[in-house]
Structure formats: structure tokens, C-alpha cells
Structure 1
């Protein structure tokens, strides 16, 4: 019988497979963005679930990069976690490293914001404040257009994510920046 996960349990699972500070910080950033969108999009009662999906989305990436979004399914099933959690986590790799399609709005948000939070986070590190708190949309758009900046952040995935959500790219950029600003740690 699968069960729901608490945030503390999700963190314990994440840190069993991830040790690098960069990966842990990225997971927490995506968690906070997912929690923000849960509330913004009318899924407030699901905030914990959305947050845990964000926290665990790269569960297998550090130890099993060649099996990303595949190995996590196996690991989570061994822990008897909910199938909807497993599907949601794996779906952010759709068309990239797995064939689990994002169907729920939450899964589409995760797909769209994963790469984008990395790009915005990298842009923040270039600022004197090292923070998104004083960043404007025009700065994000400029960095997005500069293919040499944060070259590892796949702009096509971000664009596909916006399309899946039915949002203009600028709306996705703006809302994700707002979501990151809502967490004072960013």
C-alpha cells in the first residue's frame, strides 16, 4: 500500500542519494517554486505534495545520471511511494531521458521550471547581490537569449514547458522569477 510522504521523509530520501550542495540547493529551489505554483494555481491543499515532487525531482541524477528519471522510479517503488508521486517526478524527463508524459498541470509546471530555475539561479549569481530579489524580468530575458550563458540550461525544454502549460514564454519567465523571489533564500 503506497502512502503519502512528509517533507522530512522526502528530504531524508533525497539526501540518501544526493550529497553535493549544488544538487541539494537546486532541489530546494524547485521545491519552493513548486509550492508557490501550487498556491498560485489553486492547488493549495496539494502544496506539500507539489513541494515533495519538486524536492525529489532529481533524486537519481547525482548517483545515476545515465539513468535519470528511470532509476528514480525503481528507487521510489522500493520505498512503496505513491504512483502519482513517481509519475510526477519522472515526467520532468519526458522526451529527454524517459517517456513518462506530464499530464497533470503540476507535472507540466515541473517540466517547465526545472531548467528555468537553474538559468535564473545562475543569473542571480552574476549580480552583486547574488540574489533574485532585485532581479527584473528583462535581465532574465537577456540571459535566456544569450545561448553562451548557462549553456547547460536547455532553452528548448523551457520553451516546450511553456507550450505545455499554454503560457507565453514571458509569462513563464515572469511567474518563475516571482516564485523564486517568494523564497528569501534565493
Structure 2
């Protein structure tokens, strides 16, 4: 059992982050990770905490993202496995240090970018997250001009790593974010 709780993750992130959009992104990834934990029958709060804390070094070190995670978290008593999980979401993007190997690492790698597309789609819908359906989301996902900054290549690599149907991961992401729509501002 990991010592990292969602409350602890929120406390740590607030020491290193000030920008509102980064807290919203942290909450979105946390929500999606909770849904992925349920899919895998894992500890939901632990996965949510990892998701919430995944960009801990981003605001201070945007050009060296994932390279300062260990120094920021080791002093907080965060376990090495959790530090590795957080670093792994930057594998092949900002770092070569930690290839995603476990279900939690592969999930974080995948949903980090995927939540951005879900969020962008929710923002353009009058009903936001309510009633968002997989079929209509998939159309937006296929449109490379929509939420263009979110890497479809990374997300698709994540689907392959997870060995899951893309629609199943998308559904987890949507449902997780729907469950936290107030916190996400929807």
C-alpha cells in the first residue's frame, strides 16, 4: 500500500504550482486515473494521487519536464515506485528514463494527453461533460485539427501499451471526468 494519498498529492502540488490551468489538468488526469484504477481493480485513490501529481515539475521546469520530479518528491517521502510512475509519463517525449511498464504507468502515459481532448470537447459542448458519448468523442479524436496540441501519436502508443481497445480507455477517461465535472469546472 502506498503512502501517497490524494490529499498529500494536492498539498505537494500546491507547493510547486500556481497556474489555475495546471490544477485543472491535474484534476482531469486524476479523475481519469481513478477510472482506470477501477478498470484494473487497483487502489483508486492511489492512482488518483499519481494522476494529480504527475506534472509536479512542469511549471518550474517546462523545458526539463520530468527531469526534476525525483528531487521535488524524494524530500516529501514519496516512494520510489510512485516517483518512477510519474516520470514514466514523459517517456520518449521529455525523458528516456522510465519506460511505462506497469498498468499505472501505462495508464498515466495514455490519459495525460487524452484528458486534454476530452476537456476541449467538453468546453465546446453546451452541456459540457453531461451526456458525452463515446461515438461522438471518437469523431473529435479522429479530427487532428481539433485539440491539435494533444498528441494522438502518444495516446495511440498508450492504447497499444495497455493492450486495451481505444474506446475502452476513452470511456474510462470520459466517465472519470464526468464523475468530477464540478471540480473540473464543467
Query: Cα RMSD between the aligned structures?
Result: 1.5
Distance, in Å, in 2 between the alignment partners of 1:159 and 1:47 is: 24
Kept in 1, the 8 Å contact 2:118–2:137? The answer is yes
TM-score by length of 1: 0.91
Distance, in Å, in 1 between the alignment partners of 2:9 and 2:104 is: 18
Kept in 2, the 8 Å contact 1:162–1:172? The answer is yes
Kept in 1, the 8 Å contact 2:67–2:95? The answer is yes
Whether 1:124 aligns to 2:114 is: no
Quote the residue 1:98 is aligned against.
Answer: 95
Whether 1:147 aligns to 2:144 is: yes
Distance, in Å, in 2 between the alignment partners of 1:150 and 1:10 is: 27
TM-score by length of 2: 0.91
Distance, in Å, in 2 between the alignment partners of 1:132 and 1:183 is: 10
Rate the CA distance shift 1:173–1:6 in 2: closer, same or farther, 3 A.
closer
Which range moved further: 70-79 or 101-110?
70-79
Distance, in Å, in 2 between the alignment partners of 1:134 and 1:122 is: 15
Distance, in Å, in 2 between the alignment partners of 1:126 and 1:36 is: 23
Quote the residue 2:37 is aligned against.
Answer: 38
Per-residue Cα deviation, 1:136-178 (whole angstroms, up to 9, x for no partner): 1122111111111111100000100100000122222223222
Q: Which runs of 5+ in 1 are unaligned?
A: none
Distance, in Å, in 1 between the alignment partners of 2:35 and 2:143 is: 27
Rate the CA distance shift 1:84–1:170 in 2: closer, same or farther, 3 A.
same
Quote the residue 1:7 is aligned against.
Answer: 6
Deviation at 1:184, TM superposition (A): 3.6
Kept in 2, the 8 Å contact 1:36–1:182? The answer is no
Distance, in Å, in 2 between the alignment partners of 1:178 and 1:47 is: 14
Higher relative contact order (CA 8 A, sep 6+): 2
Distance, in Å, in 2 between the alignment partners of 1:95 and 1:126 is: 31
Quote the residue 2:160 is aligned against.
Answer: 163
Deviation at 1:179, TM superposition (A): 2.2
Q: Which runs of 5+ in 2 are unaligned?
A: none
